[in-house]
Amino acid sequence: MQTKGWTNVKPETVEQWIGREEVQMIDVRSVGEYMEGHIPGAKLIPLDQLDVRTFEIDKNREIVCVCRSGKRSASACEYLASLGFSKVMNMDGGMSAWSGAISTQ
């Protein structure tokens, strides 16, 4: 589903992308939520820091934003799309819908 410059992606698809160099997973939850468990390889950039940390995100790679339920990550997608990021996706249902591997490191 195309929505204002970004799309939604199913958790099952995201799981298949773990470890792929062309995909960056950005976890926009709080530090505490991230430490409780996150998708392996996901980079923590809390939503309230995204505006000052966008330089850490490569515009040439696909970007998957993740949060607990999909709402904060949808906001992150909106923001990144407004800055001209063109390969932005929101993981449907967030970590609440995730059944794949979890990292706590």
Give the CATH number, domain containing residue 29.
3.40.250.10
Distance CA 11, CA 34 (A): 17
Distance CA 54, CA 85 (A): 10
HSE value, Cβ hemisphere, 13 Å, CA-based, for 18: 14
The answer to the question of residue 105 being in a domain is no
Number of domains in the chain: 1
pLDDT of amino acid 3: 52
- Residue-wise pLDDT tens digits, 43-63: 999 999 999 999 999 999 999
Distance of alpha carbon 61 from its chain centroid, rounded?
A: 12
The answer to the question of residue 103 being in a domain is no
* Boundaries of domain holding 75: 2-97
The answer to the question of residue 73 being in a domain is yes
Contact (Cβ atoms closer than 8 angstroms) between residue 89 and residue 63: yes
The answer to the question of residue 102 being in a domain is no
Residue type at 74 in one-letter notation: A
Residues serving a catalytic function are 67
The answer to the question of residue 80 being in a domain is yes
- Residue-wise pLDDT tens digits, 92-103: 999 999 999 999
Could you give phi then psi for residue 7, rounded to 5 degrees?
-130, 165
The answer to the question of residue 104 being in a domain is no
